[in-house]
Structure 1
Amino acid sequence: MTIDLHYEIQGTGEAIALIHSGGADLRDWQSIAPLLAKKYQVITFDGRGAGQSPPPLEPANYVEDLTRLLDHIGIEKATLVGHSIGGQIATDFALTYPERVSKLVLVAPGLSGYQFSPEMEQWFAEVMAAAPDVEKMVKLMLERPIYSTIMNSPQSELMYEMTKHNTQRYFDWQSSEQIWPQPPAIARLHELQTQTLFIIGTKDSNDLFRIAELFKQVPDIRFAKIDGADHMPTLTHSVEVYSSICDFLSDQH
């Protein structure tokens, strides 16, 4: 089976697939993947339309993209670690293919079927209205409080560069529609059988805390809060995120 997505594999052992956030690419994991690779086989990849992967030519089906990637590499079962929309993809994948997921780690995840608050919707609209001025779009994106920690950190340059690259890439897309499994995950969280860890920064948005409340319906879930982290703990608090993941994976319960 051929796969057109750009991916990288580090380390050996049980498989862990890391799924990056929106506006980012596999660099989202650049501080965490090498740490996990000491013990696991770590797969990072650029989602369709991001990083070095080709743009979507038709409505994107990120869950099926992940399925095809794992099939291509020859991985039957993996732990999934998803950040932001990557967490949304991981959750939908675990609901669709429960037998293929060992454990589930969600870092500030999205949730299919969740209706964002009017202020969040307005922000998205403002960013899109600034097109095709990439600089302005990036500025509007990164000046939000959910990026205040990262933009005042040593990782701010990487965040800016990654956001700019992937905003620019957006203009190559033939379709910005997305296809998600039905019914949406928001109606099915109580059915999620996979052991789950939900990681959230204390400075993330109210929407994210509402999503965290909804995830309390998952039968076997635990929560980890990262003090002072915003929506990008993968880059600013990578050691804490890594430690939370390791504790969760080594716990045999």
Structure 2
Amino acid sequence: MLAVAAPASSTTGYGEQLQGFEYPYPLHHFDLESQGQALQMGYMDVAPTGEANGHTAVLLHGKNFCAATWGDSIKALSAQGYRVVAPDQIGFCTSSKPEHYQYSFQQLSANTHALLSQLGIDKASVIGHSTGGMLATRYALLYPSNTEKLVLVNPIGLEDWKALGVPWRSVDQWYERELKLDAAGIRKYEQSTYYAGNWKPEYDRWVDMLAGLNKGPGHKRVAWNSALIYDMIFTQPVIYEMPQLKVPTVLLIGDADTTAIGSDIAPPQVKAKIGHYKVLGKQAAALIPGARLIEFAGMGHAPQMEDPAAFNKVLVEQLSQK
């Protein structure tokens, strides 16, 4: 294991591709051409530490997360014989931040598929958390024959915020918002929304990761890509297409989660009716043919980080089921 990053009180920013922040496993880069640009995707490719079972697990991170936040799950899955691939999507973390990019979940799915093809992986179980759950759903819709199983961990996009009355923000407005991000604001938001009001010292590392990326030398490019990505998330809900999924699907839901894009500017009557994962998880499971729902009572947006041992036990069990 590599050395951990500096504590959240550090004033040192990280590079535009998160240079200076250590990942739990060796970091590789996949070079690709996309939208007329030469880009790079950072990723970890971890071999089984237990007896190889011939299966691959692909872990897709969320908006305010990175592949590194999957460290505990990578360890647990590799111990059970899985090859584990955890990429950073374009615009995030250790990957390129293009000056201009038309973000769509189809595009990010195609990029991920190209990476897996380059690695010689034809079929994999795809596990997506948060925004990564939206991406994993789109990936399974586009590439059902390449998706062995689909696991959605507190995915966002289980409701159409704009249709429910959340105000639209322009990309310029998102950009101005993202330029103001700092560690204190990130911590306050994550504690109230992601962790049901709780906080553990180990979460500080992830605040530092995000805050350091946002205050580093690529600050403006990072903020601009973040703004484009938020526009993608807000305008491309996947909930309407969940009934079309044709792969075995499991939902792993922390039922105390309250994440909802735009809730900070939504009118009180709108804010009151969005982000209720105790309801959203059940609604999504009912939409997806044959889906299984496992709820983590009292946990928030990131159960894999709140209680890694309990979460990874369930994840391994679900992946091994026929």
TM-score with structure 1 length normalisation? 0.84
| Residue in structure 1 matching 2:92, options 28, 50, 71 | 50
Does residue 59 of structure 1 match 2:112?
no
- The separation in 2 between residues aligned to 1:66 and 1:170, in whole angstroms, is 25
Q: Which residue of 2 aligns with 1:70?
A: 116
Shift in Å, 1:198: 0.4
8 Å contact from structure 1 (residues 111, 211) kept in 2: no
Q: 1:165 to 1:118 in 2, by over 3 A?
A: farther
Deviates more, 1:105-114 or 1:43-52: 105-114
* 1:169-248 superposed matches below 5 A: 171-173=220-222, 175=225, 176-177=227-228, 185-205=238-258, 207=275, 208-212=277-281, 213-248=283-318
- The separation in 1 between residues aligned to 2:168 and 2:195, in whole angstroms, is 17
Shift in Å, 1:27: 1.6
- The separation in 1 between residues aligned to 2:175 and 2:185, in whole angstroms, is 7
Q: Which residue of 1 aligns with 2:14?
A: none
List gaps (5 residues or longer) in structure 2. Answer: 1-29, 33-39, 49-53, 259-273
Shift in Å, 1:105: 0.6
One-letter identity of the residue aligned with 2:42: H
One-letter identity of the residue aligned with 1:42: V
Q: 1:186 to 1:227 in 2, by over 3 A?
A: closer
- The separation in 2 between residues aligned to 1:99 and 1:92, in whole angstroms, is 13
Does residue 134 of structure 1 match 2:181?
yes
- The separation in 1 between residues aligned to 2:89 and 2:160, in whole angstroms, is 21
TM-score with structure 2 length normalisation? 0.68
One-letter identity of the residue aligned with 1:7: Y
Shift in Å, 1:112: 7.5
8 Å contact from structure 2 (residues 257, 301) kept in 1: yes
List gaps (5 residues or longer) in structure 1. Answer: none
Task: Give the alignment's Cα RMSD to 1 decimal.
Answer: 3.1
- The separation in 2 between residues aligned to 1:221 and 1:191, in whole angstroms, is 12
Deviates more, 1:158-167 or 1:42-51: 158-167
Task: State the Cα deviation string for residues 12-39 of structure 1 (Å, max 9, x = none).
Answer: 4311100011111112201110110121
- The separation in 2 between residues aligned to 1:64 and 1:226, in whole angstroms, is 32
SS at match of 1:159: helix
8 Å contact from structure 1 (residues 107, 199) kept in 2: yes
Shift in Å, 1:188: 2.0
Q: 1:170 to 1:218 in 2, by over 3 A?
A: farther
- The separation in 2 between residues aligned to 1:233 and 1:119, in whole angstroms, is 26
Q: Which residue of 1 aligns with 2:42?
A: 6
Does residue 249 of structure 1 match 2:319?
yes
- The separation in 2 between residues aligned to 1:202 and 1:133, in whole angstroms, is 30
Identity of aligned residues (%): 21
Task: State the Cα deviation string for residues 43-62 of structure 1 (Å, max 9, x = none).
Answer: 01212222211113312232
Shift in Å, 1:234: 1.8
Q: 1:84 to 1:120 in 2, by over 3 A?
A: farther
- The separation in 2 between residues aligned to 1:248 and 1:45, in whole angstroms, is 22
8 Å contact from structure 2 (residues 191, 199) kept in 1: no
In our comparison, the structure showing a higher alpha carbon Rg is: 2
8 Å contact from structure 1 (residues 82, 107) kept in 2: yes
Higher share in helix:
1
Shift in Å, 1:2: 3.6
Q: Which residue of 1 aligns with 2:60?
A: 19
